[in-house]
Structure 1
Amino acid sequence: MNELEQRVIATLLSKPELVDAVSVNASWFEDTRYRNVIEALQRLDPAERTMLNVYNELDKYEGQLSYKNLEDMRASVFSTASIMSDVKALHKLAAQRELNTAMISYQSSQKKEDLNQLSTALENLKKTDEEEDKGYLDEAMDDLNYRMYNDMPVGIKSFPKLDNFLAGGLYGSMLLTIGARPSVGKTAYGVNLAYQIISNDPEVQVDFFTLEMNKREMLNRFVARHTNISSQRLKRPAKVLQKYEREVVADAIEWYRERKLRVYDKVLSLSGILSIIRENAAKSKPNKYVAIVDYIGLIKVENSRAQRWEQIGQISRELKIIANEYNVPIVALAQLNREVNANQTPQLSNLRDSGSIEQDSNVVGFLYRPYEDDPKIVQLTIQKNREGALGTIDYYFEGRYMTFIEPSEEK
């Protein structure tokens, strides 16, 4: 086993440009010294992955490899052709170890949480056995032939007009970025998007990552959306709510209990967010999972010395990669530069800190208030759309109730 781990490390030391191409995870290594090398390589920017810099990074760890060890390993590489299969084999061995550990734990405890962990480990091992992508189009061609004569759902339903722009709904592998200036309502729009999704299909799991608010604040916003009771009044419900309102809120709580909405308020790092998406998306059926991140500019990138715009680029790339890997849609909310006037139509160039958000996203939309004298009118302008048209959607936004309404929905 160490021979395989050593071969992977040696190859990546020899060709450090492969580090970003093979998607290797440090946790797959049993040998702590090799795990440390992978973490050092991934922490360094591509242009900085020299042998000396890697060795200097290892100073942070105990039991590190010597500089001579690193040089000898690098010199031992005659071919890098097997790196993909080596990484795949390494992943499978790690998944098998995870399964063995989970099985022992469940056999000794018989607890539900250990059973869930065992189920996850089985799914992860199964994923490593999936056939390697050879690039053939046969399956996609068969699927298209079938869909020409059989109407199939395209994606996850949200707002009707937004779904039309998305050619049917939020589809797998999509990175949908929605930008707005502060206080325009991007969090509220994220709440409404999640609410529309779980209202249309209770079987869809929505993972909502909030980096600004806690779970109590988020639940108040979700309940306000369902009940038309102001989220401000929900802060002190025993004091300010009438009896019938408390009953309405209690019904709303039960309604949410029956849905698969999860809110994460303590997961602030990129690796943490990716880990949860990876775990939950792997267990989900097609068109039954969405992740919403509020918002992309607050995500922490561990151990990175890169400038913030470079970190934002890494975040958007990783979100897009995992959307592709698990064939799920991810919605990322983003902050716009404050230089954009409140009533000015935002442009793609206004995305804060990084143009790579635009490059990585399948769809980019901006929320803004077009009329200075009517703040309740909020428009979503779609300015990039790989799978559909560009255009604008009008919403009526009632901030007290966290409610976005498309005009056609009004009664």
Structure 2
Amino acid sequence: MNSEIEQAIISVLLKEPKNVAMVNANADWFVDGNYRVIFQALQEVGDGSLMTIYGKAKVLSNQFTLTYKELIALRGNAITDANLTELVRDLHRLYLKQEVQRAMAVYHEAPFEDNLLTLTSASNALLELDDNVDDGSIDVQAKELDYNLDHPVEAGVKSYPRLDECLAGGFYGGMLFTIGARPGIGKTAFSVNLAAKMLAENEGIQVDYFTLEMTKREMLNRFVSNDTGISSVTLRSSADSLTPTLKQVVRQSLSKVKRLNLAVYDTAETLSQITSVIRQHASAAKKNKYVAFVDYIGLITVPSLKERYLQVGEITRQLKVMTNEYNVPIVALTQLNRSIENRQDREPQLSDIRESGSVEQDSNVVAFLSKDKDVDDVVNLSIKKNREGWQMRIPYQFQGDSMKFQELAVDSDGR
């Protein structure tokens, strides 16, 4: 059964490689090693030629045994992609059944509490798979609202106090939060501060950070600098010149960062590569225990689409779909148009978002970073769109050496 489903999925994807960005599947679901490698290759190259896919598969695994001629034959087996969603769901169901069987065998051999929890989790995931088919019913939502009438609403992922207040309780599942800024304002630095706050304020949360501008080493320096106050420039260029005391501080911070559930991805460039990781981790996370950062939208590629505005539209659509499907928040960064610098009033507006109106349309919240015109070391975060909260301007003191953002108190006039 597995082999037939896996073959059908791979055949369809080889015929229409662009569909790999649309399916909610993980390579781990494939039992056949060759099909698993082909799926990984498709995720890597996106809408590439069959020869490109074949070459990538050979690079990914020296145990890949299919010939190019066999790949051509596989592609020829595909008739239509109309049933691709159902095929993927069937594959997911088979994978979850196997996970339950494995967990059950382990528990029978060693009936400990941890193994029982693993078995329970696997069983619940299987039960929830078919429960997640949308029949249009609002019964669950009605029960939730009725419950909230007599109980406090569960808060979302915590970050900065004023920002959480603006978001009516924190970063909630289903939220696409987009931060826009011109180069040099500090959107990456702010996102690092935001991620660090979430890791500090939410025990057990997992943060995936996708960076297309910086390396893992640079990002690690940013997180250590944020924690210690030691300049990231110093950590990069002259860490050996630090005093023994400061070196010990850095080593302690390194140990602290390594213990966090923080993963940094600096080689995921295509939409399918990024969404594959998010799907895998978000699907396994508990409520309010996962958030993804994408830095930034303008550097992600969708090989199947030529026009850039279509690519950006597909990127924001996929990110938004995943926030809803897995009930997680995603923070995305974006550039603003250069024209803002030619205006007398440089306060960013929604119309300043570069490349596509889909960023504004698909985002639950859109915020802009800009330097305060009156105070040199203050950067304002202006919430210009907020579907389930308030529009607000929140000032932050920005420490350039450590790239640390400290939320400031707001006066009665909103500053």
Q: Does 1:310 align with 2:310?
A: yes
- How far does residue 405 in structure 1 lie from its aligned partner after superposition? 1.1
SS in structure 2 at match of 1:383 = strand
SS in structure 2 at match of 1:340 = helix
TM-score (norm 1): 0.76
123 and 375 in structure 1: CA distance in 2 versus 1, 3 angstrom threshold? farther
Q: Does 1:255 align with 2:233?
A: no
SS in structure 2 at match of 1:141 = helix
Q: Does 1:400 align with 2:401?
A: yes
Look up the equivalent residue of 2:392 and give its one-letter code: G
Partner of 2:332: 332
Q: Conserved in 2, the CA contact under 8 Å of 1:269 and 1:299? A: yes
Q: Conserved in 2, the CA contact under 8 Å of 1:278 and 1:322? A: yes
Partner of 1:366: 368
- How far does residue 148 in structure 1 lie from its aligned partner after superposition? 2.0
Partner of 2:247: 246
Separation in 2, partners of 1:236, 1:7: 53
- How far does residue 188 in structure 1 lie from its aligned partner after superposition? 0.4
* 1:218-233 pair list within 5 angstroms: 218-233=219-234
Separation in 2, partners of 1:211, 1:94: 32
* 1:123-134 pair list within 5 angstroms: 126=126, 129-131=129-131, 132-134=133-135
Separation in 1, partners of 2:249, 2:283: 36
Partner of 2:357: 355
5 and 247 in structure 1: CA distance in 2 versus 1, 3 angstrom threshold? closer
Look up the equivalent residue of 1:205 and give its one-letter code: Q
Separation in 1, partners of 2:285, 2:205: 9
Partner of 2:275: 274
- How far does residue 223 in structure 1 lie from its aligned partner after superposition? 1.4
Partner of 1:345: 347
SS in structure 2 at match of 1:272 = helix
Post-superposition Cα deviations, 1:37-84, rounded to whole Å, max 9, x if no partner, equal xx79x977xxxxxxxxxxx976877443699977xx46xx9xx7x776
Partner of 2:59: none
* 1:6-405 pair list within 5 angstroms: 23=23, 25=25, 62=68, 63=70, 64=72, 73=79, 85=86, 87-93=88-94, 126=126, 129-131=129-131, 132-301=133-302, 303-341=303-341, 344-371=346-373, 374-405=375-406
218 and 24 in structure 1: CA distance in 2 versus 1, 3 angstrom threshold? closer
Post-superposition Cα deviations, 1:340-363, rounded to whole Å, max 9, x if no partner, equal 118601111211111111111110
SS in structure 1 at match of 2:178 = strand
- More displaced 10-residue stretch of structure 1: 59-68 or 138-147: 59-68
SS in structure 1 at match of 2:157 = coil
Look up the equivalent residue of 2:185 and give its one-letter code: V
235 and 58 in structure 1: CA distance in 2 versus 1, 3 angstrom threshold? closer
- How far does residue 393 in structure 1 lie from its aligned partner after superposition? 1.0
Separation in 2, partners of 1:207, 1:129: 24
Compute the RMSD of aligned alpha carbons. 4.2
22 and 357 in structure 1: CA distance in 2 versus 1, 3 angstrom threshold? closer
- How far does residue 311 in structure 1 lie from its aligned partner after superposition? 0.9
Query: Which residues of structure 1 form unaligned runs of 5+?
Result: 45-55, 107-114
Query: Which residues of structure 2 form unaligned runs of 5+?
Result: 55-67, 107-114, 411-415
- How far does residue 11 in structure 1 lie from its aligned partner after superposition? 11
- How far does residue 153 in structure 1 lie from its aligned partner after superposition? 2.5
- How far does residue 399 in structure 1 lie from its aligned partner after superposition? 1.6
Q: Conserved in 2, the CA contact under 8 Å of 1:155 and 1:169? A: yes
Separation in 2, partners of 1:10, 1:208: 32
Look up the equivalent residue of 1:353 and give its one-letter code: E
- How far does residue 125 in structure 1 lie from its aligned partner after superposition? 6.6
- How far does residue 256 in structure 1 lie from its aligned partner after superposition? 1.9
Q: Conserved in 2, the CA contact under 8 Å of 1:95 and 1:124? A: no
Partner of 1:112: none
204 and 94 in structure 1: CA distance in 2 versus 1, 3 angstrom threshold? closer
Separation in 2, partners of 1:233, 1:330: 31
Separation in 1, partners of 2:212, 2:21: 29
Separation in 1, partners of 2:104, 2:270: 29
Separation in 1, partners of 2:238, 2:10: 58
SS in structure 2 at match of 1:401 = coil
**What is the identity percentage for the equivalent residue pairs of Structure 1 and Structure 2?**
43
Q: Conserved in 2, the CA contact under 8 Å of 1:96 and 1:125? A: no
SS in structure 2 at match of 1:339 = helix
334 and 66 in structure 1: CA distance in 2 versus 1, 3 angstrom threshold? closer
92 and 341 in structure 1: CA distance in 2 versus 1, 3 angstrom threshold? same
Q: Conserved in 1, the CA contact under 8 Å of 2:21 and 2:46? A: no
SS in structure 1 at match of 2:338 = coil
Post-superposition Cα deviations, 1:13-39, rounded to whole Å, max 9, x if no partner, equal xxx9xx79984659678797xx89xx7
